[in-house]
Structure 1
Amino acid sequence: MNILFIIPARGGSKGLPGKNIRPLNGIPLITHSVQHALASKYPKKVVVSTDDAKIAAVAKEAGAEIVERPADISGDTASSESALIHALTTVEQQGYIPDLVVFLQCTSPIRGIDDIDNAIELLLKEKSDSLLSASPNHRFIWKKGPQGFYSVNYDYNKRQRRQDLEPEYVENGSIYIFKPWVLKENNNRLGGKVSLYLMSDESSYEIDSAMDFMIIENLMKGLE
């Protein structure tokens, strides 16, 4: 079984310039995801899709191959799916035909050493077509409707303990796995039979700001 790992990383971050190569616990952010991909026991090709020469250099040094992303799918409004389709098409044209694609977001760097392979094995065991990683939700959720605010996942008139809420899960952005046809036919990372791979609460933290770097660095140190 051949597995294609795709790690998209464009260079034009407005909120935190240079985010994808900013050091996190001593190594560039993107290097964490490249190392996680390379640690998988499965036959694989690991590619980073980027429009940025600095990111490409860092990713290549970490052991990834580079797919140069065109400018028209590298802007603020470009979807991750556009980068995934371009990367998949590129490697297939080069003769590499994957059985599965693993999409890692480098802004969600907290993964256990076995998480990726365990997620792959879960998809295979459940005979699913796609999979997403998620973390448990233990919060009381409210939304605003035409008549004002209302509770979504509990009845505030009969307040429960958080532990007694019906189980809910938050998509944490860390790991997505799908068969190539899912992406090609649906223009979506998810489709067909979908599995959910559960990860820790800590894995739900994503990096969007300098403060996030500080928080995640401390979380990662605590998990070592």
Structure 2
Amino acid sequence: MKTIAIIPARGGSKRLPGKNLMLLDRLPLIAHSILYAKANPDSIDAIFVSTDDPEIKKTALEYGAEVIDRPAHLAGDHEPTVTALKHVLESIKTRPETVILLQPTNPLRPEKLLKQAIEIYKKEKCESLFTVTRSHHKLGKINNNKFVPFNYKPGQRSQDLEPLYFENGLLYICKSDLILEDTIISENAYPLQVEHVFAQVDIDTADDFDYAEYIYQKNK
């Protein structure tokens, strides 16, 4: 195996219980990421779901993914994603060269994004790549009950802001050796810019899910 996709999906969400199995257009949330990976067989040799939840495991198997049972101590609220990825690599027989991380909370992705990302990853000889989107918000800090602009001056037009970007979570690609060193995004990671409405969907709350449904139906 040269390249695998890993989908980390624990069962203990606090803000939106059971979110990874909630139905988005009649499909469990986790199924969207599995099917996205399966639609790219030329790029992905195997698909693994890491979970501590029996129902998520059952669903992942039904949609054709392999499942790695995640131990409870790696499924806590404050456990970083990289530990789940590392556990997968330590649990499979053959170590891949490359890992693609697909988060189930980002179920909507541009169809050709993965192919584009892999082409850039190879061409630029990256050790890691992740997707970003430009923010058009006027941001600031609050110090001593006073708002201090961060990326603009009062009265400045939003279209004239200095470009700032946020990590949108659509996908990550990195060498497996990085993950074994507890890293997903390296210091010289390639930031792939994605300007698509799907980049605004990241499901953590009920409102996020409602927004995802709206965006999905509008762009179906």
Is 1:206 paired with 2:205? no
TM-aligned CA deviation for residue 146 of structure 1: 5.6
Task: Indicate the residue corresponding to 1:133 in structure 2.
Answer: 131
Q: Note the C-alpha offset of 1:145.
A: 3.3
2:57 is the alignment partner of 1:56: yes
Residue type at the aligned position of 1:177:
I
Per the alignment, in what secondary structure is the counterpart of residue 156 of structure 2? coil
The C-alpha deviation readout for 1:130-180, integer Å capped at 9, x for no partner, is: 111111111100112368321111122xx3322222222110112111111
Instruction: Give secondary structure in 2 for the equivalent of 1:107.
Output: coil
What secondary structure is seen at the aligned counterpart in 2 of 1:212? helix
Does residue 1:27 correspond to 2:27, yes or no?
yes
Question: 2:133, 2:168 within 8 Å by CA — same for their partners in 1?
Answer: yes
Q: Deviations over 1:167-221 (max 9, x none)?
A: 2211011211111122222x12111521111221431221112222221111011
String of CA shifts for 1:34-62, please: whole Å, max 9, x gaps. 01111113141100000011000101111
Identity of aligned residues (%): 39
* Stretch deviating more after TM superposition (44-53 or 201-210): 201-210
* Aligned structure 1 segments of 4 or more residues deviating by more than 4 angstroms: none
- The residue that corresponds to 1:168 in the other structure is 164
Question: Aligned partners of 1:106, 1:66: CA distance in 2, in Å?
Answer: 14
Residue 119 of structure 2, aligned match among 101, 121, 144: 121
Cα distance in 2 for partners of 1:170, 1:116 equals 19
Segments of 5+ residues of structure 2 without an aligned counterpart are: none
* 3-state SS, counterpart of residue 15 of structure 2: coil
The offset of 1:69, in angstroms, is: 0.3
Query: Are the aligned partners of 2:5 and 2:44 in contact in 1 as well (CA < 8 Å)?
Result: no
The 3 A distance-change label for structure 1 pair 77 and 105 is: same
Per-residue Cα deviation, 1:73-117 (whole angstroms, up to 9, x for no partner): 1111211111011011112xx1x2212100111101120111112
> Is contact 1:129–1:192 with CA below 8 Å preserved after alignment?
no
SS of structure 2 residue aligned to 1:169: strand
Corresponding residue for residue 184 of structure 2: 189
TM-score by length of 2: 0.93
Partner SS, residue 160 of structure 1: coil
Match for 1:109 among 94, 107, 110?
A: 107
User: Which moves more between the two structures, 190-199 or 3-12?
Assistant: 190-199
Instruction: Give the TM-score, by structure 1 length.
Output: 0.92
Gaps of 5+ in 1: none
Cα 1:43–1:16 shift into 2, 3 Å:
closer
- Cα distance, 1:27 vs. partner? 0.4
Task: Tell me what 1:65 maps to.
Answer: 66
CA distance in 2, matches of 1:203, 1:212: 12
